[in-house]
Amino acid sequence: MQFTRSQIIFIAIGGFIGILLLLVLFGVLPGRRENLNVTELTVWGVEDTRVFKNIIEQFEALHPGIAISYKKFEENTYEKSLLNALAAGEKPDVLMFENNWLLKHGGKLAPAPAEKMSPAMVQSLFPKVVEQDFVAGGQVYALPLYIDTLALAYNRDLFDKAGIVFPPTTWEEVGNTVDALRVLNGKNLERGAYAIGGTSKGAQNAVDVVQALLLQGGVEMINEKHTSALFAKEEGKKMFAMYTRFSDPSSAFYSWNDSMQEAKESFTKGGATAFFTYSKELSDLKARNAFLDIGVAPLPQLDPSEEVNVADYWGLAVFNGSAHPSESWDFVVFATTNTNATNTYLALTGNPPALRSLIQETQENPEIGVFAKQALTARSWLQPGEDVVRGAFDEAIALVLSKELTPERAIQKAEATVTEALRGK
């Protein structure tokens, strides 16, 4: 049988294609076989997809055998969504992890191999607070994307009108300037001075201020075994009573109360001269009132020579159910320590840096310099859960303001609540 010229060409082309497919299948040529060896990682977090897109692309360019996908969750429901997803059998390789979660959720994490990240490396790369939050038992469980700290936002115009040249640097100065800043109509507070002394209902960061005072006072928050809260000893009682006097109408330091408009809203409308905030909240303040002249000052201290601040931030961790923990930790280390990656993240979010090298470069930044510098002196403690701690202190504050308990008895009740949570009751 003779083939026509067209048939011969068709058979030759078909044979050539068949040979190529066989070579690809057996790995002689790149193609489908190579794709079968790609390691796929999933990252879960609360940041917009665009924030991680460039970081992921940078990492994939350096690791062509790894492909990463990102899943975004809403921040206010992230913890619940995370637990529900894990219970349903879904699992990430890498997840965003809040700085106060280690005691509560550390059992869900795979610690870093020592050769990739050790406690000594954490100490050299990041401020001390990271070690307190993310290192336990000689192992590293997470690394920070950024570190935000609590500072004082104040209305420059109202401070100027009150004749206060500089914002307070100590809590004593805070108390001494209350009378000049507040506006009283008889016993009624028409304009607050500092939004402090009440619960989280009136001022979002109220419990953070309480914790800052306790830590500045050198109060030991829990025991070494993490089984008992200890913050209701004498110094703790003193610090807590100092906090609540700012919402006591009979006190010379009466500055704020929970019946006033929420602190952030009140501040933007001139109903409060100052309140305590994190850098992530500043853009919202400016959006609410573009004409407000906002100053930002460091958190007041008990003793300026022994500065202690508090931090709030997210890190990245590796889920202990990941099939690729080594590659996952490679991504975590890259995203949090590679200068290009971290600069990309910070530029897109506006957050203060976590790396010591970048904190050094950012200290004079007019927008985030105050927050960045304070990270170096931020301190923390392992908590049984933010909701437990916030609820315990809010209840204690409310009991004092309602005159149901003295500050001393109220903080003892809060201590008992936290101890119960630590013991899993």
Q: Express each pLDDT in 220-247 by its tens digit.
A: 999 999 999 999 999 999 999 999 999 9
Mean pLDDT of 382-411: 97
- For residue 44, the cross-strand partners are 71, 95
CATH 3.40.190.10 placement within the chain: 37-148+311-377, 151-308+384-422
Q: Which CATH class is domain 37-148+311-377?
A: alpha beta
Q: Given CATH 3.40.190.10, say whether it is the number of domain 151-308+384-422.
A: yes
Q: What is the pTM of this model?
A: 0.90
Answer yes or no: is pLDDT of 76 > 80. Answer: yes
Under 8 Å between Cβ of 97 and 383: no
Q: Which residues, at least 6 apart from 117, have a Cβ–Cβ distance to it below 8 Å?
A: 140, 143, 329, 332, 333
How many Å separate Cα 61 from the centre of its chain?
29
pLDDT band at 26, cuts 50/70/90? very low
Separation of alpha carbons 47 and 151, rounded Å: 23
For the chain, the average pLDDT equals 92
Structure tokens at 81: 């969504």
Answer yes or no: is pLDDT of 349 > 90. Answer: yes
Separation of alpha carbons 223 and 246, rounded Å: 30
CA distances from 270 to 127, 201, 259, 264, 276 (A): 36, 19, 16, 10, 15
* pLDDT reported for residue 409: 98
Answer yes or no: is pLDDT of 8 > 70. Answer: no
Q: What is the largest CA-CA distance in the chain?
A: 115
Answer yes or no: is pLDDT of 146 > 50. Answer: yes
* pLDDT reported for residue 19: 54
* pLDDT reported for residue 5: 54
Identity of the residue numbered 197: G
pLDDT tens-digit series, residues 317-335: 999 999 999 999 999 999 9
Answer yes or no: is pLDDT of 314 > 70. Answer: yes
pLDDT tens-digit series, residues 396-406: 999 999 999 99
Q: Which of 296, 276, 128 is nearest to 196 (CA)?
A: 276
* pLDDT reported for residue 187: 82
* pLDDT reported for residue 15: 54
pLDDT tens-digit series, residues 157-184: 999 999 999 999 999 999 999 999 999 9
